[in-house]
Amino acid sequence: MSKRLAVIVSQGPGSNPVKRQLEEDIVTGLMFSPNVEVTVIPNLYDLRGDSTGMLALQGIAGDMVVCSWMFERAAHWILDRNGMSGRVGTTLLTNDAPDDEDEDEEDEEAIDAKPRVNERREIANRWIYCLDLRTCGSAQAFIDEVLRIQSELNVRVVRLGAGPSVGRPTREQLQRFESPTNSTGLARNGSGLANATGGILADAGEESEANPPAASINRIEESSGRRWYPVIDYSRCTNCLECIDFCLFGVYGIDRIDTILVEQPDNCRKGCPACSRVCPENAIIFPQHKTPAIAGSAEVGASLKIDLSQLFGAPAEGKSAEEIAALERDEQLVLAGRDAVGMQGLEKRRPARSKASDRDELDDLVDRLDQLNI
Amino acid sequence: MSDHQTFMMGEFAAEFPTDRQYADNHMWALSRDNVVRFGFTAYAVRLLQDVYFLDWLLDAPARLSHRQEIGSIESKKAESALYAPLAGELTIFNAELLADPSAINVDKYGSGWLFEMNADLNGLMSAAGYVDHLETVWEKTQRTIKGQLNE
């Protein structure tokens, strides 16, 4: 049996025809790619832990490419929460400039040595690549990226098999790879491998095999209502427990080794992202929130579009993240028939490190407006 | 008496029927049979221009507080979060728009309606009051847009 790459297409919530078209074009485009197994699921974020869709994903043991209508981080940590951990594969299909990302990683390592929850968790030995379908409108770009990832994964295996030598494998190594002398050899899988090593295989006298297995496509259709709950990024979370203190709706809990987790996601109040604002590490993601920093953007990137939210009724400016969070929490308490608590529990907080990154484009805009003096 | 009020957005005349009331987040409200139907005003549609995507964060029915974020809208050139115009119970969204939001541009005061609520209409403005409100925010609107275009 050839090793197949699992590609998951998570449908957008709602039935936006433009989105549906892109999803279907990607599925169709991958249909003829050998060694790809496509699973189409309803919106990943809305799937419950015991849903058919989630169970299908949990049945996938190997590497995964997940295409969904949310930031890469959001998808990755939704999977993680549902028992599908893995190493973060880096996609080239992203809005973020790669240079920035590198700098960021260095910065984080250099400046703060705070232990992150992720460092003491067991991560499954596989790669998970999350692609944000909002990145680009071309199905071909996503198909190409899936094929590139497939090659990359094969190269990884080849490199591991090739031992200490770095770079191009020797002809001898390739031969050994072609005809393994032990039972641990990687199953040959046709064009994916050919892509992976460029012209090298051709040099070694290999041609693509006849009848490559076409992709298999699983469609999981189930109706699930829209959900709203926080997703924790454990690579940022320090287990400071500010969120469990702040949330008065019992969303958060502690596992057996005293680690924070989202225990009762459906206790969360729809539309309320307040705990994300009080998280000092910006580790709490609400994938459907409009502010990129809250929705799981790796960077707070400038939007390409004019943001009219302020004109259409966005809450007043000039408040700190904590003040906004307190207001949002009060709003939900009152809606639930409880008493507002104001800044309770937030008075003595040190200024959150993430405050600068909590600013969204509107904050910047307002600052610029003040300077413009029109 | 004219059946609408007009506000000039530069060269563009935005018209507001006087048969309904207006919220300051640029939605109209039309009461009938104890429910209030909401939609975008001509002013909002002019700012957005060609709407191609509308998304709601909630399922109806849902209790809303005033200004609660309820969804988002995207057009070719702009995007915005959407907020509840009033506190109350949202009873239904216009399902037709989710598949094809073009009615927002084509028939904003009719089939392009957004949602219905059970709500107390206190605090809404008449068409004339809304035009007065627009006079006071027009400057800020222009600056908001120019500020972002100058990037």
Tens digits of residue pLDDT in A270-318: 989 999 988 988 899 999 988 888 999 876 444 556 778 878 887 666 6
How many pairs of residues across A and B have Cβ atoms under 8 Å apart?
Answer: 102
Residue A266: Cβ-neighbour burial (10 angstroms; 0-12, 13-18, 19+): exposed
Tens digits of residue pLDDT in A101-135: 444 444 444 445 688 999 988 899 999 999 999 99
Tens digits of residue pLDDT in B90-102: 999 999 998 888 9
Q: Do A290 and B143 touch (CB under 8 A)?
A: no
Contacts of B78 in chain A (CB under 8 A): 305-308
| Residue A126 DSSP SS3 | coil
Q: Do A15 and B99 touch (CB under 8 A)?
A: yes
Q: Provide the H-helix boundaries in chain A.
A: 17-30, 52-58, 72-81, 98-111, 139-161, 171-178, 190-196, 200-203, 242-246, 274-278, 292-295, 321-335, 355-358, 361-372
> Hey, what are A347's tokens?
């008075």
Give strand ranges (E) for A153-259: 216-219, 231-232, 252-254
> What mean pLDDT do residues A255-273 have?
93
* Partner A contacted by B47 (CB < 8 A): yes
CA distance A201 to A199: 6
Main-chain phi, psi angles of B56, to 5 degrees: -110, 140
Rounded to 10 degrees, the C-alpha dihedral B90/B95/B96/B100 comes to: 100
Q: Do A18 and B52 touch (CB under 8 A)?
A: yes
pTM value is 0.63
Give strand ranges (E) for chain A: 5-10, 36-41, 64-68, 87-89, 127-132, 216-219, 231-232, 252-254, 260-262, 284-285, 306-307
* Partner B contacted by A171 (CB < 8 A): no
In a mutational test of the B interface, the residue from A309, A365, A371 whose CB has the highest number of chain B CBs within 10 Å is: A309
Residues constituting chain A: 374
In a mutational test of the B interface, the residue from A22, A289, A306 whose CB has the highest number of chain B CBs within 10 Å is: A306
- Of the candidates A228, A302, A313, the beta carbon closest to that of B67 is on A313
| Chain A residues 299-338 with a CB less than 8 Å from chain B | 302-303, 305-315, 331, 334-335
- Of the candidates A270, A311, A372, the beta carbon closest to that of B62 is on A270
* Partner A contacted by B25 (CB < 8 A): yes
Angle (CA) B134 B140 B146, round 5°: 125
CA distance A332 to A79: 28
CA distance B47 to B75: 10
> What mean pLDDT do residues A323-334 have?
90
Residue A338: count of CB within 10 angstroms of its CB: 12
Q: Do A311 and B80 touch (CB under 8 A)?
A: yes
Tens digits of residue pLDDT in A151-174: 999 877 665 554 444 455 556 665
Whole-number Cα distances in Å, B59 to A140, A228, A319, B48, B90: 33, 11, 29, 24, 9
Q: What is the pLDDT of residue A339?
A: 92
**Contact status, residue A315 vs residue A271, Cβ threshold 8 Å:** no
Token pair 């596989």: residue: A126
Tens digits of residue pLDDT in A136-148: 899 999 999 999 9
Higher pLDDT, A29 or B151: A29
> What mean pLDDT do residues A51-56 have?
94
Element (H, E) at B70: strand B69-75
Token pair 């309320």: residue: A272
pLDDT band at A203 (very low <50, low <70, confident <90, very high): very low
Q: Do A313 and B85 touch (CB under 8 A)?
A: yes
Q: Is the pLDDT of residue A247 over 60?
A: yes
- Of the candidates B67, B78, B83, the beta carbon closest to that of A306 is on B78
Residue A279: count of CB within 10 angstroms of its CB: 27
**Contact status, residue A138 vs residue A93, Cβ threshold 8 Å:** no
Whole-number Cα distances in Å, A263 to A87, A121, A241, A266: 23, 17, 13, 9
CA distance A134 to A115: 32
Element (H, E) at B45: helix B42-48
**Contact status, residue B25 vs residue B150, Cβ threshold 8 Å:** no
Whole-number mean pLDDT of chain B? 90
Tens digits of residue pLDDT in B2-32: 799 999 988 889 999 999 999 999 999 999 8
- Of the candidates A17, A306, A309, the beta carbon closest to that of B81 is on A309
* Partner A contacted by B50 (CB < 8 A): no
Contacts of A313 in chain B (CB under 8 A): 24-25, 67, 82-83, 85
Q: Do B57 and A302 touch (CB under 8 A)?
A: no
> Residues 6 or more apart from A111 whose CB is under 8 A from it?
none
- Of the candidates A16, A311, A335, the beta carbon closest to that of B141 is on A311
| Residue A312 DSSP SS3 | coil
Whole-number Cα distances in Å, A126 to A53, A68, A83, B64: 20, 19, 13, 43
The residue of chain A nearest to residue B89, with distances taken between CA atoms, is A335
> Hey, what are A124's tokens?
């499954």
